[in-house]
A and B are shown apart, each in its own frame.
Chain A
Amino acid sequence: MPIKVLPPDLAIKIAAGEVIERPASVVKELLENSLDAGASSVAVEIKGGGSGETRVTDDGRGIPSFEVSTAFLRHATSKLNASEDLNAVATLGFRGEALPSIAAVSRLSLTTRTPDSEMGYGIDLEWGQIIREGSRGSPPGTTVRVSNLFENLPARRKFLRTPGTETGRIHDLVTRFALGFPSVRFRLTSDGRVLLSTTGSGTLREALLAVYGVEVAEGMLDIYGEDPERTYQVEGVVSPPHIHRSNRSYMSLFVNRRWIQSRALSFALEESYHGLLPVKRYPVAAINISIPYADVDVNSHPAKREVRFHHEGTIFSTLQRAVRAALIADSPVPPIQPPPGSRFDGSSSAYHPSSFFPRSAFTGASRDYPGGPVDAAATTQPAPSLKVVGQVKATYIVAEGPDGMYLVDQHAAHERVLFDRIKQQSAPARPGELLLEPITVELTPGQAEVMQEKANMLCQYGFAIEPFGDNSYLLRAVPVVMTGQDPAQALLTVLDLVALENLSNTQEDVLAASIACHSAIRAGKTLTNDEMIALLDQLEATANPHTCPHGRPTMLHFSAAHMEQEFGRT
């Protein structure tokens, strides 16, 4: 094929792909425009996860009618004038790409009115072509409505996730804007349901209240810091050590109110909590760093998610000092954390069992979660013989043992029993129970991958599965321990559990542990006395009764001596 210059409509489609990846990108670009237009209230309405319709309404400055069609030309912007301006970008957007990019891949309709004009102006575009424009009635501000997103880019549309996932991304995005701009009122509705609504009062804490709820909003600590030359300011809130989350997505960092992702700054923040949080727990934070516009380069990525700093080290240390200072001021002695691995992980309530029962009072072979199945030979300590006293919260069995009281987690205990039973059955062929009628199971691509990888092993454990075209499979048999459940659901859950574990882990234990976990009685199931006695008997007979196959403890021990001490009897 000869080399030729691409026609403009194709070129813009390609360029649009960089800026507009998914419905959330549309929301991001439109929100940035609204905020750059000085809006004090922005409403985002989405339908079908944003691929149905996205509407962003603001009360900002609006666009003068004679500029409206220019706004849809490539590289048309009101935010930059000369190339020197690029060295100090004060607005969120500046590339002049958002509107034409969105318009190129959707049906777009924009209505706007500046406060001083009497009449609004509207424009409708389809796939980048203006189909009508003219005067329209409109409140001050701008409304952009985007529908049929990516309909002319079937390849991109195919890669969209489920509406639920896309809604989640949009929700996350609007949340960050709400935290970055507490003085702007944000409202997000999805298919008519309000997902987020902030007051726009200007206080970060009220925005936090709307986003993370009252417990977090109340507990958060204010931080403030600046470098010696006072060029950088760090301001925001961080969580005290007793509030923490299982992943990093609760840490929001902003540079000049622009939400950014920076490994270095996240690391700096986590480091500030060194020794204060349990392993693999992360703080909640919303921090804005004010930097002279010339000291930060936001033009390194079309979506502007990553930025470059001129003096990263200074910012890094300013942030750490500010966070550390707040943490130390809050509590010179961090509150006692429950021992990791104990089932009292709820934390954050005033009741910390660990402060009543020192660590030595807990038995239980492995306190830290090794993350994977524990070698059966790791612990050889036999289980004490236990007498059932009762059940707490339909989850824990209270039992009396040779030296005091034991609390047994019924799910973990049963999981261990089943795991041992599955392991005992002689590989390579464990028995399966054939189904009266085979069941057709639809797998997601991820599940299908696990399925292919583990086909032999699934078969050895008693599943009988045949391909049935595409991602459909015929389920013909299930492991004997799973006969009490919905067979299709059992298979799907096991596939998901195996996928969660390390896929490269070829140990068949993963599969056995997953089957055991899914088949075991759940927390919340009321057990009869006989059932509890039988479960404890079976647990006693297992090789490693103190932990479940995933390494969590099955029982906690409160020694008689310790109880006497606590009651002041000694």
Chain B
Amino acid sequence: MKLSCLQENLSRGLGVVGRAVASRTTLPITQNVYLATDQSMLKLSATNLEIAMTTWVGAMVEDEGAITVPARLLSEFVNSLPSERIDIELQPGSGVLQLRCGRTEANINGADAGEFPPIPTVDEGVAASVETATLKEAIARVAFAAATEESRPVLTGVEIKLEGDRFSMAAADGFRLAVHHGSLREPVDSETKVIVPARVLNELNRLLGDQTDPVEIMMTPAKGQVLFRTQGSQTVETVSQLLQGTFPNYEQLIPQSYQTRAVFDLPSLLRATRTAAIFARDGSNIIRMETQPAENGEAPGKVIISARSEEVGDNQDEVEAESLDGVEGKIAFNSRYLLDVLSVLERGRVTIETASSSSPGVFRPTDSEDYIHVVMPMFVQW
């Protein structure tokens, strides 16, 4: 193997695939990065066996070849080099990768490329294409609601469904449910459902950064794999194992009716919730919400948000509703769940629907039907 490439390209490529390098592992070779010539490119791959990432770096290839070397060592070395041309050479049979950049020279002992776990290829299946911004919003609004403990593996994933020219993502951890709908760039032929680990989607979200090119998705439920291909300044392929199992039938968990429906200015409600969370922290994270319709038709009504802790003290806040219909109601939520949903909605207005103090609360952005978030209340003494 003999090739040359630019330091900044190699450094960026190693940075990308470095996310998939195993940190603690029983299979030491997964701490390596795989380097191989691929036509006139240098192909870089890494995997921790759950997720595999591959990217390509422009290069002048003289001789073909492949090797794996410790990812962290190579990455740190390349980052320390000046922004110049790097010559890379592997003497056949030596197992030592030689790098030269200006007057700097290094030899890194590698391991045979044949020992590297095969990087899964996804070349057939259902292909779809999504705008990066759409995908990023969907991941941000859904992935946090997935479970973090592993006792029910499907709940650590996000269900992605493709149907016609729409997609939906859903996650639930047993106490809350987030569902987001978005548009595909082109319709898909067949309806497809898969469960992708939430961790992988969060990693993908970070990778997408602020790039604008659409993301291609390729699903092969039969092989249990999904591939995300992002174009941007360089092509990156992320392949993940799918989670096997049946995702809960969440449609039936979304309440169809309500007793009280209130619309709030999100920043005001978020501020009041954050304040209450400070006091809830030392209790059991309980935030109480008391919705009160206006008495004589002047203002629409308000919600009283309060928290108290036996030891620390208590606080209370009032937020005026922009509109409120229905009866007065009391409901308590875990401050963490409340803050999570209000934080991802961020701006604009939020509609909250409740039925009783023991039925789920439904949160959605007022101006869109795309997102729905269901949070189970806590049962507390009032």
Residues of A within 8 A of B (CB): 421, 424-426, 429-437, 462, 464, 477, 480-481, 483-487, 489
CA–CA, A421 to B374, complex, Å?
28
Cα distance A263–B302 in the bound complex, in angstroms: 74
A-B contact pairs, 5 of them (CB 8 A): A429-B380, A431-B286, A431-B332, A433-B378, A464-B379
Q: Which of B66-85 contact A (CB under 8 A)?
A: none
* Residues of chain A lying within 8 A (CB to CB) of residue B151: 485-486, 489
Contact partners of A477 in chain B: CB under 8 A: 379
Query: Are B284 and A434 touching (Cβ within 8 A)?
Result: no
Beta-carbon contact of B152 and A435 below 8 Å:
no
Q: Is the CB of B310 within 8 A of A425?
A: yes
In the docked arrangement, what's the CA distance between A433 and B376, Å? 7
**CB nearest to A459 among chain B residues:** B379
Contact B174 A487, beta carbon cutoff 8 Å? yes
**Top 3 A-B residue pairs of the complex, sorted by shortest distance between their CB atoms:** A486-B151, A434-B376, A431-B380
Contact B380 A434 (CB under 8 A): no
B342 CB to nearest chain A CB (Å): 18
B175 touches A436 (CB 8 A): yes
What residues on B are CB-neighbors of A436 within 8 Å? 172, 174-177, 248, 253, 360, 374, 376
- Interface flag for B358 (CB, 8 Å): yes
Residue of B172, B175, B176, B381 contacting most chain A CB atoms (<10 Å): B175
A515 to chain B, nearest CB (A): 13
- In angstroms, how far is the closest chain A Cβ from the Cβ of B22? 16
- Chain A residue nearest in CB terms to B148: A484
User: How many angstroms from the CA of A426 to the CA of B284 in the assembled complex?
Assistant: 11
Which of A426, A434, A480, A483 lies in contact with B358, CB distance below 8 A?
A434
**B149 close to chain A: CB less than 8 A:** yes
Decide if B377 is an interface residue (CB 8 Å cutoff).
yes
Q: Which of B284-317 contact A (CB under 8 A)?
A: 284-286, 310-311
Known A437-B174, A481-B284, A483-B334; 17 more pairs at CB < 8 Å: A421-B284, A425-B283, A426-B381, A430-B284, A433-B175, A433-B378, A434-B175, A434-B378, A436-B174, A436-B176, A436-B248, A436-B253, A436-B374, A462-B379, A480-B284, A480-B334, A489-B151
Contact of A425 among B176, B284, B332 (CB under 8 A): B284
Chain A residues lying within 8 Å of B358, measured Cβ to Cβ, are 434
Known: A424-B311, A483-B334. A435 touches B381 (CB 8 A): no
Q: Looking at the complex, which one of A421, A429, A437, A484 makes contact with B149 (CB distance below 8 Å)?
A: A484
A487: B residues at CB distance < 8 A:
174
Q: How far is the CB of B149 from chain A (nearest CB, A)?
A: 6
A480 to B378, CA, bound (A): 8
Do A485 and B175 have beta carbons less than 8 Å apart?
Answer: no
Q: A426-B310, A480-B285, A483-B175 are in contact. Are A434 and B148 (CB under 8 A)?
A: no
Contacts of B374 in A (CB 8 A): 436
Instruction: Say whether A486 contacts B149, CB under 8 Å.
Output: yes
| Bound-complex Cα distance A464 to B379 (A) | 9
A485–B360 alpha-carbon span in the complex (Å): 20
Distance of A477 Cα from B283 Cα, bound (Å): 18
In the bound complex, residues from chain A placing their C-beta under 8 Å from that of B149 are 484-486
- Chain A residue at minimal CB-CB distance from B332: A431
State A469–B300 Cα separation when bound (angstroms).
47
Q: Which residues of A contact B285 (CB under 8 A)?
A: 480
The digit string for B157-187, where 1 denotes a CB below 8 A from any CB of A, is 0000000000000001011110000000000
Q: In the complex, what's the smallest C-beta–C-beta distance from A355 to chain B, in angstroms?
A: 35
- Return the chain A residue nearest B378 by Cβ: A431
> What are the residues of chain B within 8 A of A429 when measuring CB–CB?
379-381
- Inter-chain CA distance A155–B149, complex, in Å, is 42
Residues of B within 8 A of A421 (CB): 284
**Beyond A437-B253, A484-B148, A487-B174, is A431–B379 a contact (Cβ under 8 Å)?**
yes
Over the window 137-151 of chain B, the binary record of Cβ atoms lying under 8 Å from chain A Cβ atoms (1 yes, 0 no) is: 000000000001101
Cα-based distance from A489 to B147 in the complex (angstroms): 15
- Closest chain B residue to A462, Cβ basis: B379
Give the residues in chain A near B175, CB-CB below 8 Å: 433-436, 483
Cβ–Cβ contact A432 & B376, under 8 A: no
Q: Which residues of B in the span 367-382 have a Cβ within 8 Å of any Cβ on A?
A: 374, 376-381
Q: Which residues of A contact B286 (CB under 8 A)?
A: 431, 480
Which of A433, A485, A486 has most B Cβ within 10 Å?
A433
Which A residues are in CB contact (< 8 Å) with B376?
Answer: 433-436
Which residue of A425, A432, A486 contacts B152 across the interface (Cβ within 8 Å)?
A: A486
Q: Which residues of A contact B311 (CB under 8 A)?
A: 424
Q: Mark B187-213, 1 if CB is under 8 A from A, else 0.
A: 000000000000000000000000000
Contacts of B332 in A (CB 8 A): 431
Q: Report yes or no: A432 in contact with B177, Cβ–Cβ below 8 A.
A: no
**Residue numbers in B under 8 Å from A431 (CB-CB):** 284, 286, 332, 378-380
Give the shortest distance, in Å, between A480 (CB) and chain B (any CB).
4
| Closest A residue to B374 using CB positions | A436
A172 CA / B283 CA spacing, docked (Å):
50
- In the bound assembly, the distance between CA atoms of A481 and B334 in angstroms comes to 11
B159 → chain A closest CB, angstroms: 14
Residues on B with beta carbons closer than 8 Å to the beta carbon of A434: 175, 358, 360, 376-379
Bound CA span A432–B374, Å: 17
CA distance A487 to B148 in the complex (A): 13
With a cutoff of 8 Å between Cβ atoms, the chain A residues found around residue B152 in the complex are 486
Contact assessment for B378 and A432 in the assembled complex, using a CB-CB cutoff below 8 Å: yes
- Among B248, B285, B311, B360, the one with the most A-chain Cβ atoms within 10 Å of its Cβ is B285
Tell me the minimal C-beta distance from A146 to chain B in angstroms: 40
Q: How far is the CA of A421 from the CA of B380 in the complex (A)?
A: 16
Distance (whole angstroms) from the CB of B29 to the closest CB of chain A: 23
CA distance A150 to B286 in the complex (A): 56
Chain A residues, CB < 8 A from B378: 431-434, 480
| Residues on the B chain within 8 Å of A489, using CB | 151
List the A residue with the shortest CB-CB distance to B358.
A434
Alpha-carbon distance between A434 and B358 when the two chains are bound, in angstroms = 8
A425 cross-chain contacts in B, Cβ below 8 A: 283-284, 310
Give the residues in chain B near A464, CB-CB below 8 Å. 379
Contacts of A480 on B, CB cut-off 8 Å?
A: 284-286, 334, 378
Q: Which residue, of A421, A429, A432, A437, has the highest number of chain B Cβ atoms within 10 A?
A: A437
CA A460 – CA B248 in complex, angstroms? Answer: 29
Contacts of B174 in A (CB 8 A): 435-437, 487
Enumerate chain B residues within 8 angstroms of A426, measured Cβ to Cβ: 310, 381
Nearest-neighbour CB distance to chain A for B285, whole angstroms, equals: 6
**A430: nearest residue on chain B (CB-CB)?**
B284
Most interface-central of B149, B332, B378 (chain A CB within 10 A): B378
- What distance in Å separates the Cβ of A270 from its nearest Cβ neighbour in chain B? 42
Roughly how many angstroms separate A477 CA and B377 CA in the complex, as a whole number? Answer: 10
Choose among B152, B310, B358, B379 the residue with the greatest number of A CB atoms under 10 Å from its CB. Answer: B379
Q: Which residues of B contact A483 (CB under 8 A)?
A: 175, 334
CA distance in complex: A464, B174 (Å): 15
Q: How far is the CA of A423 from the CA of B91 in the complex (A)?
A: 69
User: Roughly how many angstroms separate A487 CA and B283 CA in the complex, as a whole number?
Assistant: 21
**CB pair B381 A433 closer than 8 Å:** no
| Complex: A462 Cα to B332 Cα, angstroms | 14
CA A429 – CA B332 in complex, angstroms?
A: 14
Report how far A428 CA is from B11 CA in the complex, Å: 61
Complex Cα distance, B132 from A146, in Å, reads: 68
8 Å CB contact of A424 from B172, B310, B377, B381: B310
- State the CA gap A298–B378 with chains docked (Å): 64
Residue among A432, A436, A486 with most chain B CB within 10 A: A436
A437 to B246, CA, bound (A): 15
Q: Which of A431, A481, A484, A486 has the most chain B CB atoms inside 10 A of its CB? A: A431
Q: Within 8 Å CB of A437, what residues of B?
A: 174, 248, 253
Q: Which residue of B lies closest to A426 (CB)?
A: B310
The answer for the CA separation of A322 and B177 in the assembled complex, in Å, is 70
A481 proximity list for chain B (CB < 8 A): 284
CA A285 to CA B331, docked complex, whole Å: 63
> Which B338-382 residues have a C-beta within 8 angstroms of A?
358, 360, 374, 376-381
Residues of A within 8 A of B381 (CB): 426, 429
Q: Select from chain A the residue with minimum beta-carbon distance to B379.
A: A432
Q: Which chain A residues border B380 with CB–CB below 8 Å?
A: 429, 431
